[in-house]
């Protein structure tokens, strides 16, 4: 299968700090928590490392390790950070033909701080990632691509989103989109107008909550709760629904609305609480794998890229969901976003031996 990933390329500096060296504050009546850095204090770190990251780069490495012929469209600066990223992609066998260089902005970079729950805090500088232009998306880059995976886009690069969608559809490619909060707010109109063209939409709970109020004009608040059989789990997101700005919508209503708007498959992840796949009138759910996490950064990219690659190849929702859960669980065992990504053979072996996490299917 030929895969094209589009989005960001970053060089990540990952800092791991022991829980007793940094304070954590959790909100009592909200879902937010905070890592507190004392001003003027030099804090000892357990580990500091530099690794490649970014949505499109992570997805490209995941697809390549799964055995697919993979290309990437990203923009980097003319600097040493770019050399590191290109070297990493080259090692993984990713085609570098469509990667462009910006002569003014540096390559994107981030600092990731991991402590306590390992749900890392990230300081990000997007740099060249924000400067993709129309010329960076030639039709030839989309030719013969079975799958086009669009990761988070921002600023000027997000303005290219309609062009990307048009190119993918003109090439008869399966289109998978994994937007970020910035794209769902500042560039909402472009995203909304593309919904009927998206074959697979991948979002996490925070992104779903950001998007939910925009559905109220057409579908209204509230909605039916998920109907489960006796003895089946009621996932937290199914129990509490989506909430934002005083508005609420049930999980069932939210997913059904996206399907009615023309999205082929909706992938909704909720971290350690598991993941949902909506397709047609069916809602599939699988609990997250229980592992000791070193960092959660990159788990979402691993999950989304793995699901869309498996689904694009087989059309089997259950198999793709299980593969995505296992690959994401493997990634969080490492501090960086790529060391844990499994090859196809390794992932298939994990799927064969992992039988204690059932798949649940309900109607929406």
Domain parsing of the chain, residue ranges: 2-24+46-363
Q: In the numeric block, which tokens belong to residue 55?
A: 């949505």
DSSP class of residue 225?
A: P
* Gap between the Cα atoms of 246 and 93, Å rounded: 48
What pLDDT, on a 0 to 100 scale, did the predictor assign at position 134? 97
pTM score: 0.92
Query: Which H or E run contains 166?
Result: helix 161-170
Contacts of 167 (CB under 8 A, 6+ apart): 137, 139, 141, 142, 148
Greatest CA separation for the chain: 61
pLDDT at 120: 67
Task: For 283-302, write each residue's pLDDT tens digit.
Answer: 999 998 888 777 777 899 99
Q: Given this model, what pLDDT does residue 27 score?
A: 67
Q: How far apart are CA 134 and CA 137, in angstroms?
A: 6
Neighbour count for residue 46 (Cβ, 10 Å): 12
Q: What is the pLDDT of residues 44-58, one digit of tens each?
A: 877 888 889 999 999
- Gyration radius of the chain over CA positions: 20
Average pLDDT over every residue of 180-200? 93
Eight-state DSSP code of residue 172: T
Are 3 and 68 in contact, with CB atoms under 8 Å apart? yes
Residue 214 CA, chain-centre distance (Å), reads 21
pLDDT of residue 50: 87
Q: 2-24+46-363 sits in which CATH class?
A: alpha beta
Give the chain's mean pLDDT. 91
Per-residue pLDDT of 97-152, as tens digits, reads 999 999 999 999 998 887 655 566 788 899 999 999 999 999 999 999 999 999 99
Q: What is the pLDDT of residue 338?
A: 93
- pLDDT band of residue 31 (cuts 50, 70, 90) is low
């Amino acid at each position: 299968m030929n895969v094209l990933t589009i989005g960001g390329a970053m060089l990540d500096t990952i800092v791991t700090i022991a829980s007793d060296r940094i304070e954590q504050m959790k909100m009592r009546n909200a879902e937010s928590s905070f890592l507190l850095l004392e001003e003027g204090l030099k804090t000892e770190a357990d580990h500091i490392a530099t690794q490649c990251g970014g949505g499109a780069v992570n997805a490209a490495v995941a697809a390549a390790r799964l055995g697919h012929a993979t290309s990437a469209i990203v923009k980097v600066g003319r600097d040493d950070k770019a050399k590191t990223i290109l070297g990493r992609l080259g090692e993984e066998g990713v085609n570098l033909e469509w990667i462009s260089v910006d002569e003014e902005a540096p390559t994107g970079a981030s600092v990731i701080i991991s402590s306590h729950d390992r749900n890392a805090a990230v300081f990000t500088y997007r740099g060249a990632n924000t400067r993709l232009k129309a010329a960076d998306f030639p039709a030839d880059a989309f030719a013969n691509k079975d799958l086009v995976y669009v990761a988070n886009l921002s600023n000027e690069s997000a303005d290219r989103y309609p062009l990307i969608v048009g190119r993918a559809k003109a090439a008869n490619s399966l289109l998978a989109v994994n937007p970020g909060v910035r794209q769902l707010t500042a560039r909402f109109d472009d995203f909304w107008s593309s919904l009927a063209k998206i074959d697979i939409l991948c979002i996490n709970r925070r992104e779903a909550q950001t998007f939910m109020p925009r559905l109220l004009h057409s579908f209204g608040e509230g909605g039916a709760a998920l109907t489960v059989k006796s003895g089946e789990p009621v996932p937290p997101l199914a129990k509490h629904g989506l909430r934002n700005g005083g508005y609420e919508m049930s999980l069932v209503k939210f997913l059904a609305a996206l399907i009615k708007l023309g999205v082929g498959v909706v992938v909704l992840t909720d971290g350690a609480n598991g993941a949902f796949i909506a397709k047609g009138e069916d809602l599939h759910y699988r609990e997250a794998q229980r592992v000791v996490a070193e960092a959660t950064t990159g788990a979402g990219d691993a999950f989304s890229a793995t699901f869309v690659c498996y689904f694009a190849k087989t059309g089997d929702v259950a198999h793709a969901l299980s593969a995505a859960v296992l690959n994401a669980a493997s990634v969080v065992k490492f501090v960086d976003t790529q060391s844990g990504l499994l090859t196809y053979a390794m992932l298939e072996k994990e799927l064969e031996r992992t039988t204690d996490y059932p798949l649940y299917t309900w109607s929406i």
